[in-house]
Amino acid sequence: MVLSLSGTKMAHASGIRSIMEDIATSMRGASTGSLLNLSIGNPAPIPEVVGTWRRLFDETLDASFARASCLYGPSRGTDDLVAAIVEYFSGRYGWPLTPEHVVVGSGSQMLSFVASAVFTGPGAARDTKTVLPALPDYTGYQGVYLFPGGVAGIAPRIELCGDRRFRYHLDLDALRRSDDIGLLLLSSPSNPTGRCVSPQELDALLEIAADRDVPIFFDHAYGSPFPQIVETPEPPRWHENIINVFTVSKAGLPGERIGFAVGDPRFIEPMVSFVANSTLHAGQLAQQVTARALATGELDRLTAEVIRPYYAHKRRLGEKLLADILPADVNWRLHAGTSGGMFCWVWVDEPWFDDRALYSRAKEKGVFLVPGRPFFTGEVAPAGFGRHDGRCFRISLSADEPVLTQGLERIAAALTELRDAA
């Protein structure tokens, strides 16, 4: 059996996936509570959130089961969901939308895969890449391009902020030097850092995108208008070079894989065709549930009253626990500034520190975290960036407070041991 080039690339389990499988295997065999998981990518199972979605499913089954589940449907998305998206974003932001501006996919992961396959790769005139302008960024972006070498990530510039904080800045000059951009792809607030692209940075990205005539795939998985896990919400921008991408995953429904993209029809139409050719359409019951969540205002209510306050509290808690628990004599720093998302991103700026060594040591102590390297996909780093990408780790704010506290205590012990062994 021979795999094709795309098969060879896509059959490759990314670094993060091996880690996640290691964690899943370990957790499965463990007695309840003995292992602590701070690697979680799932949103917290907040009872009010779970209960609301459950009610929306019951109502949707009553309203449209036979039509949704027992018939094929349009590849763009169900008429009800597309109409709900048009109405929601027109009403909330005044965007000039028609159904032609919308495509629904089986999750935003799939939409980023589709955009990457449509806008990048071997071309008639020249080959282009999926470019990540805001490293470190979501590890799933490793999965989306079809050919080896099809991605390039721009290393960030680092600003130290006081004793225990730091911030990344986009290296726009490095991005401008890229001559093979087919698609700009980023999450904001970012997984893993929580960093939000500023309006000024977005202006600069748009100038580059317009100059190259390529789309920016802007992944709002944690941002506005839902689930709005962000300190200072910015409305998504309407621009002919932006594909704005939204999902209900982090608002509580990750298992159903519903995401949608809103943008200029010249970008959206080929994506609709790709969805039609590759999967026909996304699952329709969950589409109808999403339409109902948008149209009834329940998604906005969950966002404002439950999800946003929950993560704001968890973020403050995480910051306090890090300060209280991590060793005072280790030079660790938390990414901060305009922030959001479900994670804390910690940089340990010590020559003896290695993210994979911490992962292993922490695992021995019964706590899982995510090492930083896999978030630096396709990194093109300038001289002097050094070993920064191997000196970070991510912990999840979805974990319960006792798990977070004990988990950080074990991580602190692991850090101390690593330092003492150096």
Binding to a copy of itself in span 130-149, by CB under 8 A: 140, 142-144, 146
Question: Of these, 92, 177, 266, 320, which contacts a copy of itself (CB under 8 A)?
Answer: 266
Query: Cβ 73 to a copy of itself, closest distance in Å?
Result: 6
Query: Cβ 61 to a copy of itself, closest distance in Å?
Result: 6
Which residue, 127 or 159, is less far from a copy of itself as judged by CB?
A: 127
Instruction: With CB under 8 A as the rule, give the number of residues binding a copy of itself.
Output: 84
Per the CB < 8 A criterion, the answer to whether 41 and 16 are in contact is no
Q: What is the DSSP string of 129-153?
A: EEEESSSS--GGGGGS-SSTT-EEE
Query: Cβ 246 to a copy of itself, closest distance in Å?
Result: 16
Question: Of these, 29, 31, 32, 70, which contacts a copy of itself (CB under 8 A)?
Answer: 70
Which residue, 210 or 323, is less far from a copy of itself as judged by CB?
A: 210
Question: Of these, 6, 26, 90, 198, which contacts a copy of itself (CB under 8 A)?
Answer: 6
Query: Cβ 230 to a copy of itself, closest distance in Å?
Result: 21
Q: Scan residues 323-362 and list those touching a copy of itself (CB under 8 A).
A: none
Which residue, 66 or 421, is less far from a copy of itself as judged by CB?
A: 66
Query: Cβ 301 to a copy of itself, closest distance in Å?
Result: 17
Q: Which has the closest alpha carbon to 140: 275, 38, 11, 17?
A: 17
Query: Cβ 204 to a copy of itself, closest distance in Å?
Result: 20
Angle between helices 15-29 and 355-364 (to 10 degrees): 10
Q: Which stretch binds a copy of itself (CB under 8 A): 38-46, 82-90, 323-331, 354-362?
A: 38-46
Q: Scan residues 233-262 and list those touching a copy of itself (CB under 8 A).
A: 249, 252-257
Query: Cβ 376 to a copy of itself, closest distance in Å?
Result: 18
Sheet holding 370-371, edge to edge: 157-161, 165-169, 332-335, 343-348, 392-396, 370-371
Q: Is the peptide bond before 156 cis (omega within 30 degrees of 0)?
A: no
Q: Which has the closest alpha carbon to 375: 414, 353, 347, 400?
A: 347
Distance set, CA 420 to CA 230, 329, 368 (Å) = 37, 12, 21
Question: Of these, 37, 39, 128, 224, which contacts a copy of itself (CB under 8 A)?
Answer: 128
Tell whether residue 54 is a contact of a copy of itself (CB under 8 A). yes
Q: Which stretch binds a copy of itself (CB under 8 A): 83-91, 170-178, 268-276, 327-335?
A: 268-276
Q: What is the DSSP string of 332-344?
A: EEEE-SSBBSSEE
Binding characters for a copy of itself, 272-311, by CB under 8 A (x = yes): -xx-xxxxxxxxxxx-------------------------
Tell whether residue 421 is a contact of a copy of itself (CB under 8 A). no
Which residue, 173 or 305, is less far from a copy of itself as judged by CB?
A: 305
Let me know the angle formed at the C-alpha of 392 by 203 and 362, rounded to the nearest 5 degrees. 150
Query: Cβ 51 to a copy of itself, closest distance in Å?
Result: 9
Which residue, 10 or 413, is less far from a copy of itself as judged by CB?
A: 10
Tell whether residue 66 is a contact of a copy of itself (CB under 8 A). yes
Q: Which has the closest alpha carbon to 261: 34, 75, 36?
A: 75
Q: Scan residues 175-204 and list those touching a copy of itself (CB under 8 A).
A: 182
What three-state secondary structure class fits 403? helix
Tokens, residue 409: 């205590």
Q: Which has the closest alpha carbon to 242: 290, 285, 178, 188?
A: 188
- Report the C-alpha gap between 367 and 60 in whole angstroms: 40
Question: Of these, 23, 84, 117, 358, which contacts a copy of itself (CB under 8 A)?
Answer: 117
- Report the C-alpha gap between 182 and 188 in whole angstroms: 20
- Report the C-alpha gap between 11 and 309 in whole angstroms: 40
CA 182 and chain centroid, separation? 20
Tokens, residue 335: 């990414």
Question: Of these, 49, 155, 261, 408, which contacts a copy of itself (CB under 8 A)?
Answer: 49
Question: Of these, 38, 135, 196, 214, which contacts a copy of itself (CB under 8 A)?
Answer: 214
